[in-house]
Chains A and B, each alone.
Chain A
Amino acid sequence: MKRPLAYIRRKLSVRVSLWVVFFAAIIFNVALGFLFYQSREAVRQEAVSRATQILDKTSLRVEGILNRVEVASNMTKWLVQRHPNKADSMFVYSRGLLLNNPDFYNCSIAFEPYYFKDRGRYFSAYTKHVGDSIRTIQGGSDNYQYFFADWYLMPQLLEKPCWTEPYMDLDVATNTSEMVTSYCQIITNQQDQLIGVINISLSLNWLSQTISAVKPYPNSYSIMIGRGGTYFVHPDTMKITRQTIFTQTLEQPDTALTALGYAMQHGEEGMKHMNIGGKDSYVFYKPLGQTGCSMAIVCPESDIFSGFDRLRRTVMTIVAIGLLLMLYLFIRIITSELKPLQRLADEAETIASGQFDAVLPDFQRIDEIGQLSHSFGNMQQSLVKYIEELKKTTAQKASIESDLRIASEIQMGMLPEKFPTRADHDDVQLFASLTPAKEVGGDLFDFYFRDEKLFFCIGDVSGKGVPASLFMAVTRSTFRTVSAHESMPDRIVTTMNKTIADMNKTFMFVTLFVGVLDLPTGRLRYCNAGHDAPLLVGAGVGELPCDSNIPVGFKPKWKFSLQETQIFTGTTIFLFTDGLPEAMDANKTLFQMERVNDVANRALAKQQQEPHQLISLMTEAVHQFVGDAEQSDDLTMMAIQYIKQQSDVQMRKSIVLSNDTQEVPQLNAFVDEVCQTVGFDQSVTMQIKVAIEEAVVNVMKYAYPSGHRGDVTIEAASNDIRLKFTIIDSGKPFDPTVQSEVDTSLSAKERKIGGLGIHIMRQNMDSINYERMDNLNVLTLRKKIKH
């Protein structure tokens, strides 16, 4: 069922045709229905009048026959009364009567017993048709004492001529019997005494044939009932004289039939529509003269309307075939009219598949389809034009996208990829992740080691996309440049701010957190420029206290404040951008600091505060929270765990020198001794000696104002792994590690005298570190002990 419907929905021609045919069918139906109704009425009227006519005619005929019987009876009576004594004449009369009326069955002129003395007790002139001849005999015998027959007695009792109820007439001579009804009339003499009875019989069979001879319709039939309702004429001969019209109603009550029976009995005339023998029929009935009989014609409705029904069937068939033909022709015509549309559709398909130069059919039509074709042609031309433009635009877009992708790669390339783990560093491990919301983002993080310090920063540039990423790149490279010569986060940020604010034409800004973790001591110095305060995950979870500085990029002259704290072994510093607390789920609900703290607490409880563990836990929690929602902002996290374990000191020596370079040989002797104790060979001892000399001489020359005496303390300590020299002075703050590197590739002419000392320290020692602690300059130099 679905398929034809789908087909109809797809085929305009079929649909339109179906509608047209549907409405035509409705109109035809209404018109034909009205016509059929009217015709049926006419046919009914016609049937009624026809049946009535036939009924009248038949009843006239029957009445004529009956009249003839009565007239013949009267004539014979008159003759008998004229010559009552001539027995032989009775045979003549009887025979003559039948001769004149060949359609009578028989007749007899019967006399009272011993009326003719010479003829004995019985005398009846009986005449009957036998084949084509007429036989006249003397009737009556001891076996047939007619005086007691109904027909002989009834007219005497009624004292008038009458018609008997049908009875079986037995012909002894031929031994044949026939159902007859008789007209009986008494014969009286002049003294008005009964002398005999004239009996004229009509064969019921013949009467029935006569009545039934004229049929208005092939299946119609006639019935005739007597006074008591007995059937005289009926197509079912078994019913004749044996059943009455009411017999059937005894078994099956049928008010219509009963009513008909009464109406006929009462000698009424009319028509009834009723069901007879399972068929709807019209019954026309009428009494037959004075006989007390009534006849009816039963016409089955199917007969009456058979012609009409046939006509109707024919017409309906013609109409149905016509409508189908119409449907077919409509479909064909509309399809052929719409064929250009199909071709246009095909061409459109071709064009849609990308062949814009497909040649459109030229229909040479000026109707709507022609117009459509024309418009379509125009559309195709426009399409070709637009597609060309689109191609150009797309290519440009692809190029931009490719640029963006490369930009993103470059940006990601800027970020450190290798994170220090426990295997690389025994004092710190770090992990970070950056997930940009768009192709390129404005978040940044960076870290690097210089001497024994971890420099790190995390930042968030206002806005997103390419501008933010460019600003981020500037910020990151500024961080690297500035921090190369500066170890104090406040000064790093202040310098960065000045540099960035001066060139900030677009009024963008960046929130920034810069930290410097002194690895030997766990001292964290930091400066926060409007960034989210990091969390410390260690003994518990807490926020790192942060001054409310402004973000970088606003005011070039802003002085950023320095803060510091002690990071204990095992503690993780968790830094993040606002993309973390402000991560949004599909309902625009924020992740919020509460959840960040929860995750951190959970990590701590599970002993999973190592950087990569903490970040993966946090990432997982955010993903779970955000679900399928689009990432709303860049998300950056960085975790730094301080893991330095103090080793047992095996050797500790120290020396205090004044700020006089002449003390250097003493220093060298001290270093020699230390190196010997530790077990360094001559070559390494030389390297260390030069490095320590450079460091100490630096202090001697620059820490104190010229002419002022000051002390320099040199401590040497070693454990299994390293030898450590700590050079302490109480002079002005001076960080030798931020001095610019010398370029060792320059020619003799270009080389400056100076800057060599720090270079030698770095080259000869494994690490060098400066700290300002308690108004002391503390410079630490380390050398690994090889085993």
Chain B
Amino acid sequence: MNVRIEEIDGNVVAFLAGILDTAAAPETEKAMSPLNDVEGKDIIIDCTDLEYISSAGLRIFLGILQNAEDKGGHVYIKGINDEVRGVFTITGFSNIFEFK
């Protein structure tokens, strides 16, 4: 699992690549923790290279979203593939995230 965070066009973009399973979750959560400090900027999570996600991964996403919303920010998800979108859909996460 690989996480890279960059600031592009005034937005904070997190690039996720690989498999986000339970085993990878603690590490990923740690890697994504800077996103919790973002203020006044939108967060974009780029999932183009995300191959797999389980509920452990979704919990990280939900944590980031709740934190951002508390601060009045937005979290966008970008480039998600069909399989991962399926997990979002059955859990209702597709309703609470904004997709780009």
Does chain A have a CB within 8 A of B58?
yes
> Which residues of A from 720 to 756 have beta carbons under 8 Å from B?
742-749, 751, 753-754, 756
A764 to B86, CA, bound (A): 10
Interface 9-mer from B8-16, B39-47, B60-68: B60-68
Does chain B have a CB within 8 A of A690?
yes
Chain B minimum-CB-distance residue to A752: B62
Contact with A along B48-70 (1 / 0, CB 8 A): 00001111101100110110010
* Cβ contact of A756, chosen from B24, B59, B97, cutoff 8 A: B59
> Which residues of B from 71 to 95 have beta carbons under 8 Å from A?
82-84, 86-87, 90-92, 95
Does chain B have a CB within 8 A of A772?
no
Q: Is the CB of B23 within 8 A of A683?
A: no
Minimum C-beta distance from A752 to chain B (A): 9
Q: Is the CB of A748 within 8 A of B86?
A: no
A668 to B52, CA, bound (A): 10
A743 to B93, CA, bound (A): 11
- Across chains A and B, the number of contacting residue pairs, with CB separation under 8 Å, is 81
Q: Is the CB of B19 within 8 A of A668?
A: yes
Which residues of chain A are within 8 angstroms of B65 by Cβ–Cβ distance? 748
What total of chain A residues lie within 8 Å of the partner, measured CB to CB?
32
Q: Is the CB of B69 within 8 A of A744?
A: no
Q: Is the CB of B96 within 8 A of A690?
A: no
Does chain B have a CB within 8 A of A632?
no
Does chain A have a CB within 8 A of B22?
yes
Which residues of chain A are within 8 angstroms of B53 by Cβ–Cβ distance? 690
Q: Is the CB of A693 within 8 A of B92?
A: no
> Which residues of A from 666 to 710 have beta carbons under 8 Å from B?
668, 682-683, 686-687, 689-690, 693-694, 697
Q: Is the CB of A697 within 8 A of B54?
A: yes
A751 to B69, CA, bound (A): 13
Chain B minimum-CB-distance residue to A755: B55
Q: Is the CB of A756 within 8 A of B83?
A: no
Minimum C-beta distance from A234 to chain B (A): 149
The answer to whether residues A759 and B91 also contact, given A693-B54, A697-B56 and a CB cut-off of 8 A, is yes
Which residues of chain A are within 8 angstroms of B83 by Cβ–Cβ distance? 682-683, 686
> Size band of the B side of the interface?
20 to 34
Q: Is the CB of A694 within 8 A of B54?
A: yes
Which residues of chain A are within 8 angstroms of B82 by Cβ–Cβ distance? 683
Q: Is the CB of B87 within 8 A of A690?
A: yes
Q: Is the CB of B96 within 8 A of A748?
A: yes
Interface 9-mer from A102-110, A191-199, A265-273, A657-665: A657-665
Q: Is the CB of B22 within 8 A of A690?
A: no
A757 to B58, CA, bound (A): 10
A749 to B92, CA, bound (A): 13
Q: Is the CB of B66 within 8 A of A749?
A: yes
The answer to whether residues A745 and B19 also contact, given A686-B86, A756-B58 and a CB cut-off of 8 A, is no
A747 to B66, CA, bound (A): 10
Does chain B have a CB within 8 A of A763?
yes
Q: Is the CB of B19 within 8 A of A665?
A: yes
> Which residues of B from 2 to 29 have beta carbons under 8 Å from A?
19, 21-25
Which residues of chain A are within 8 angstroms of B84 by Cβ–Cβ distance? 686
Does chain B have a CB within 8 A of A776?
no
* Cβ contact of B91, chosen from A663, A664, A744, cutoff 8 A: A744
Does chain B have a CB within 8 A of A319?
no
A665 to B23, CA, bound (A): 7
Does chain B have a CB within 8 A of A434?
no
Q: Is the CB of B52 within 8 A of A764?
A: no
Does chain B have a CB within 8 A of A99?
no
Q: Is the CB of B55 within 8 A of A747?
A: no
* Cβ contact of B23, chosen from A661, A742, A743, cutoff 8 A: A661
* Cβ contact of B66, chosen from A682, A743, A748, cutoff 8 A: A748
Minimum C-beta distance from A676 to chain B (A): 15
Does chain B have a CB within 8 A of A760?
yes
Q: Is the CB of A744 within 8 A of B92?
A: yes
Chain A minimum-CB-distance residue to B93: A744
* Cβ contact of B92, chosen from A661, A745, A757, cutoff 8 A: A745
Which residues of chain B are within 8 angstroms of A764 by Cβ–Cβ distance? 90
> Which residues of A from 36 to 92 have beta carbons under 8 Å from B?
none
Q: Is the CB of B69 within 8 A of A748?
A: yes
Which residues of chain B are within 8 angstroms of A689 by Cβ–Cβ distance? 52
Q: Is the CB of A760 within 8 A of B52?
A: no
A662 to B23, CA, bound (A): 5
Which residues of chain B are within 8 angstroms of A763 by Cβ–Cβ distance? 90-91
* Cβ contact of B62, chosen from A663, A743, A748, cutoff 8 A: A748
Minimum C-beta distance from A30 to chain B (A): 116
Minimum C-beta distance from B69 to chain A (A): 6
Minimum C-beta distance from A352 to chain B (A): 72
A668 to B51, CA, bound (A): 12
Q: Is the CB of A757 within 8 A of B55?
A: yes
* Cβ contact of A693, chosen from B21, B62, B90, B97, cutoff 8 A: B21
A694 to B96, CA, bound (A): 21
Q: 6 more A-B contacts (CB under 8 A) besides A668-B52, A753-B59, A764-B90?
A: A661-B22, A686-B83, A686-B86, A690-B52, A751-B96, A756-B59
Which 9 pairs show the lowest CB-CB distances between chains A and B?
A: A744-B92, A686-B83, A664-B23, A748-B96, A756-B55, A763-B90, A697-B22, A661-B22, A664-B22
Instruction: Identify 10 residue pairs between A and B in the complex whose beta-carbon atoms are under 8 Å apart, listed by A's number.
Output: A661-B22, A664-B23, A668-B19, A668-B52, A683-B86, A693-B22, A694-B54, A744-B91, A748-B65, A756-B91
